[in-house]
A and B are shown apart, each in its own frame.
Chain A
Amino acid sequence: MVATENRLTKALAGKRDLLAVYYTAGFPALNDTVAIGESLAENGVDIIEIGIPFSDPVADGPVIQASNKVALDNGMNLRTLLEQVKALRSKIETPIVLMGYFNPVLQFGVGRFCIAAADAGVDGLIIPDLPLTEYVELYKEKFEQHGLINISLISPTTSEERIRNIDDNSSGFIYAVSASSTTGAKKEFGDEQIEYFKRLQSMKLKNPFLIGFGISNASTFKTASQHGAGAIIGSAFIAMLQSSTDLKNDIRDFIKSIKTS
C-alpha cells in the first residue's frame, strides 16, 4: 500500500496548474542540488524532480545530455545524490521525485535503492526505460512497500488501451510527453499536440496527468495546465541554470516568469 501521507498524493489531490521542475543532481556544481531544490520550494514549485545523471541518456535532448555529463564529471553518483536529497528533505516539504535511467538503479540494487530513497524522503520515481511489464512483475511490490510512487510516461503514439493499462497501474500522476520527441524546450504547441491533450482529457483517467517535454515559458505552461493538472519544465530550466551567475535570484525570476498568468 502506498502510505497515505505520501507528499505527492497530497500535492496532487484535486489541484490544477501544478508546476513541476526538473533539474539534474550535481549540476552546475556538485553541491548545488540542495540549494536549487530549496529555491524551487521557496518560490512555490509544486513538485521537485531530481535527475539521476547517466552516461547514455537516450531519451534526452542536447541540453539535459550536457547537464548529465557535467554532473558525472563533477563526481555525482547515486549515493551522493541520496545524501543530498536527504539534506534537502530536512529543509522542505515539497514532494520530491527522482528521475533517471534504469542501469544506475539496477547496479545500486533495486531493493536497496527503494529503502535508501524512502529514507531520504523521496516520494516518487520516474524511470523512463523501465518497461511497464517489468515494473509490474518485478518491482511494483517493492516500490509500494516503501511508499514510492512509480510514474509512467505516455506519448502521442501510446494506444488508448495501453494508456488505460498504465492508468490502472499508476497511483500518482501520469507523465504525458507532449510530442514524439526527446526532451527539449519548444516555443509553442502545435495543433496535433493540443488534439492529443484533449484526447487525454476526454479519457477521464483516474490519475491526473502532467504534461512534460517542450514546456518552456508562461504560454506553454498555461496551455498545458488548461488540459492537464499541470506541467513539467526541464530543459528550459537547465539552460537557465547553465548561464546563471546568481542561482537564487535567477531561479526566482524564472519561476515568476512561468507562473505570471
Chain B
Amino acid sequence: MNYKVDERGYYGQFGGAFIPEMLYPNVEELRSRYLDIISADDFKNEFHHLLKTYVGRPTPLYFASRLSEKYNAKIYLKREDLCHTGAHKVNNTVGQIILAKHLGKQKIIAETGAGQHGVATATVCALMGLECVVYMGKLDMERQRPNVERMRILGATVIPAESGNMTLKDATNEAMRHWINHPQDTHYIIGSVVGPHPYPDMVARFQSVISEEIKKQLSSEIGNPYPDYVVACVGGGSNAAGAFYHYVEDEHVSLIGVEAAGKGVDTGESAATTALGKPGVLHGSKTLLMQTDDGQVIEPYSISAGLDYPGIGPWHAHLFETGRCTFLNATDDEAMEAGVLLSRLEGIIPAIESAHAIAALGKMDLDDEDVVVVNLSGRGDKDLETYIRWGKY
C-alpha cells in the first residue's frame, strides 16, 4: 500500500490544491520549491539545531507506570507537552519560518484554534524578527485567553474571526482571505496537515521528528522500535501525522487517531469527522468533511478548541479509507475526566486536545503485553479556565 503523496498532491482520492487563482503563484512556488529547500544541508542544519537548542528536543519518551497499571498495558507518553511553547506545534513553525526566509517573505500569517499554533508562530516570528498576524475565532479567544495574551506579548497582532461559529474554520477562512490580499510579501504558516498541497506533506515532514525520536527511544527502552499501538488526537491531524509518520509502513503497528465527539457523535454537537464526514473540498483540499447534503460545511463543536474543526487532513482521510488508521473518539466529559486522571496518576496536566488521546485508552482492548505510545501533544496550562469551569476534580 502506498501512503505517500503523489505527484499531483493526492493521497488516494484525497488532497489536491483547490485554491482560487489569486493564490496559485504562492502555492505553486511552495510546491515547486519546498522539497529542494527542506532537503538541503543548510536548511536541515538550521532546523535541527533550533529543534535541539530552542525547542528542547528530543522530547522524552516517558514510561507512565501508574497509567500502565490502570489500563493493564505498557504505556509510554511522548512528551510533546515539554516542547518550548507547550505543544508539538512549534516543530512545524520552526520549519516553516526557515522556509519563509528562503522564500524571501517578510510577513507571516497564521490561523489558530487553541492558540498553540498561534503562540508557536508568534514565537518563531519574534525569533526571526518577522511581522506576525494571527487570526483566531472570537469564541476561541475567550476560551484560550492566556494564549491570546502570550501572542501579544510576543509582538503578534491577533485578529478575531467573527464569522460562522467563530472558531478554527473561520480563522482559517480569514487567514486565506488575508493571503489573497497580500500574496507577494507574505507566507501563510498553516498549523496542521490541512490546506492545499504541498502543505499537508510539508507539515507532516516537519512533525515527523516525533516518530523519528519515538523509534530511537523505544528501541533503547524495549529493544525494538515497534509499539503495538501509537495513539494521537486528531484535529487537523499534525501531531498524529508526526507520531504516525515513520510507522505508517510498519503495518504491524496499529495507528489510532482520536477525534473529538463533543457532546456525543449523534448529538449534532461534535467534531468527529471520520464518523460524520463525507469527501468534500474545504480550505484547499479534498478530504473528509462534515457537511450537509447540499455541500455546506457543518459547524463543528468540541470543548477543545484545537479539535473543533469540521475536517481532517487528506493523508488522514486516506489512512481512514484504507483502514491503515483506526479512528476512535472521546466526548468532552471523557476527555476532561482523562485529563484529571493523568494529572492524578502521573502529575501531568495535559492539554484538553491531548486528553482525548488519553481517554481513548479506556476504549481499546489492551492486554498487559501491549506496548502503547500516546503522543501527549501539549500541556494544559492554556486550558486552566476550561478545567476550572468544568469543575469536577
Question: In the bound complex, do residue B295 and residue A108 qualify as a contact, i.e. CB atoms below 8 Å apart?
Answer: yes
> Min CB distance, B251 to chain A, in Å?
32
> Min CB distance, A171 to chain B, in Å?
17
Residues 242-254 of chain A, each 1 if its beta carbon lies under 8 Å from chain B, else 0: 0000000000000
* Other A-B pairs, 4, CB within 8 Å; known A58-B283, A177-B22, A181-B181: A55-B164, A58-B180, A134-B16, A177-B21
- The 8 Å CB contact of B18, one of A78, A107, A131, A180, is A131
Question: In the bound complex, do residue A102 and residue B21 qualify as a contact, i.e. CB atoms below 8 Å apart?
Answer: no
Bound together, the chains give a CA A114 to CA B294 distance in angstroms of 16
Bound together, the chains give a CA A56 to CA B298 distance in angstroms of 10
CB-contacts of B287-314 with A (<8 A): 289, 291, 293-297
Question: In the bound complex, do residue A180 and residue B16 qualify as a contact, i.e. CB atoms below 8 Å apart?
Answer: no
Given A65-B163, A104-B295, A131-B16, A56 and B21 contact (CB-CB distance below 8 Å):
no
- The 8 Å CB contact of A59, one of B16, B17, B180, B297, is B180
Question: In the bound complex, do residue A182 and residue B24 qualify as a contact, i.e. CB atoms below 8 Å apart?
Answer: no
**Complex contacts, B16 vs chain A, CB 8 Å:** 131, 134
Residues 55-66 of chain B, each 1 if its beta carbon lies under 8 Å from chain A, else 0: 000000000000
- The 8 Å CB contact of A129, one of B20, B173, B184, B291, is B20
Question: In the bound complex, do residue A153 and residue B280 qualify as a contact, i.e. CB atoms below 8 Å apart?
Answer: no
Bound together, the chains give a CA A102 to CA B285 distance in angstroms of 11
Q: Which residue of B lies closest to A159 (CB)?
A: B25
Residues 143-179 of chain A, each 1 if its beta carbon lies under 8 Å from chain B, else 0: 0000000001111011100100000000000000100
Closest 6 CB pairs of A and B: A107-B295, A104-B295, A153-B21, A55-B296, A59-B20, A77-B294
Decide yes or no whether B177 CB sits under 8 A from chain A.
Answer: yes
**Complex contacts, A77 vs chain B, CB 8 Å:** 294
**Complex contacts, B366 vs chain A, CB 8 Å:** none
Bound together, the chains give a CA A181 to CA B22 distance in angstroms of 8
B: interface residue count bin:
35 or more
Bound together, the chains give a CA A162 to CA B278 distance in angstroms of 33
Bound together, the chains give a CA A107 to CA B293 distance in angstroms of 7
Residues 83-109 of chain A, each 1 if its beta carbon lies under 8 Å from chain B, else 0: 000000000000000000111111110
Q: List 9 A-B contacts (CB under 8 A).
A: A55-B164, A58-B173, A129-B281, A131-B17, A152-B21, A157-B24, A159-B25, A177-B21, A181-B22
Q: Which residue of B lies closest to A62 (CB)?
A: B163
Given A158-B25, A159-B25, A58 and B183 contact (CB-CB distance below 8 Å):
no
Interface contact tally, CB-CB below 8 A:
103
Q: Which residue of B lies closest to A107 (CB)?
A: B295
Question: In the bound complex, do residue A153 and residue B20 qualify as a contact, i.e. CB atoms below 8 Å apart?
Answer: yes
> Min CB distance, A63 to chain B, in Å?
13
Given A55-B164, A103-B281, A158 and B180 contact (CB-CB distance below 8 Å):
no
Question: In the bound complex, do residue A162 and residue B294 qualify as a contact, i.e. CB atoms below 8 Å apart?
Answer: no
Q: Which residue of B lies closest to A175 (CB)?
A: B21
Q: Which residue of B lies closest to A134 (CB)?
A: B16
CB-contacts of A181-217 with B (<8 A): 181-182
Q: Which residues of B contact A (CB under 8 A)?
A: 8, 16-22, 24-25, 163-164, 169, 173, 176-177, 180-184, 278-284, 289, 291, 293-297
**Complex contacts, A102 vs chain B, CB 8 Å:** 18, 281
Bound together, the chains give a CA A60 to CA B181 distance in angstroms of 11
**Complex contacts, B282 vs chain A, CB 8 Å:** 56, 103
**Complex contacts, B176 vs chain A, CB 8 Å:** 58
Bound together, the chains give a CA A61 to CA B174 distance in angstroms of 10
Q: Which residue of A lies closest to B8 (CB)?
A: A133
Bound together, the chains give a CA A77 to CA B8 distance in angstroms of 32
Question: In the bound complex, do residue B21 and residue A134 qualify as a contact, i.e. CB atoms below 8 Å apart?
Answer: no
Q: Which residue of A lies closest to B284 (CB)?
A: A129
Q: Which of A56, A61, A77 has the most CB of B within 10 A?
A: A56
Q: Which residue of A lies closest to B280 (CB)?
A: A103
Q: Which of A69, A154, A155 has the most CB of B within 10 A?
A: A155
Question: In the bound complex, do residue B21 and residue A154 qualify as a contact, i.e. CB atoms below 8 Å apart?
Answer: yes
Given A58-B177, A153-B22, A180 and B182 contact (CB-CB distance below 8 Å):
yes
Q: Which residue of A lies closest to B293 (CB)?
A: A107
Q: Which residue of A lies closest to B299 (CB)?
A: A55
> Min CB distance, A128 to chain B, in Å?
4
Bound together, the chains give a CA A18 to CA B79 distance in angstroms of 62
Given A55-B164, A56-B169, A131-B18, A157 and B294 contact (CB-CB distance below 8 Å):
no
Decide yes or no whether A130 CB sits under 8 A from chain B.
Answer: yes
- The 8 Å CB contact of A157, one of B19, B177, B183, B283, is B183
Decide yes or no whether A54 CB sits under 8 A from chain B.
Answer: yes
Bound together, the chains give a CA A77 to CA B180 distance in angstroms of 27
Question: In the bound complex, do residue B280 and residue A181 qualify as a contact, i.e. CB atoms below 8 Å apart?
Answer: no
Question: In the bound complex, do residue B21 and residue A103 qualify as a contact, i.e. CB atoms below 8 Å apart?
Answer: no
**Complex contacts, A182 vs chain B, CB 8 Å:** 177, 180-181
Question: In the bound complex, do residue B21 and residue A158 qualify as a contact, i.e. CB atoms below 8 Å apart?
Answer: yes
**Complex contacts, B184 vs chain A, CB 8 Å:** 157, 180
**Complex contacts, B180 vs chain A, CB 8 Å:** 58-59, 180-182
**Complex contacts, A60 vs chain B, CB 8 Å:** 177
Bound together, the chains give a CA A107 to CA B296 distance in angstroms of 9
Q: Which of A107, A108, A157, A177 has the most CB of B within 10 A?
A: A107
**Complex contacts, A103 vs chain B, CB 8 Å:** 280-282, 289, 291, 295, 297
> Min CB distance, A240 to chain B, in Å?
22
Decide yes or no whether A45 CB sits under 8 A from chain B.
Answer: no
Given A55-B297, A180-B180, A155 and B281 contact (CB-CB distance below 8 Å):
no
Bound together, the chains give a CA A157 to CA B177 distance in angstroms of 16
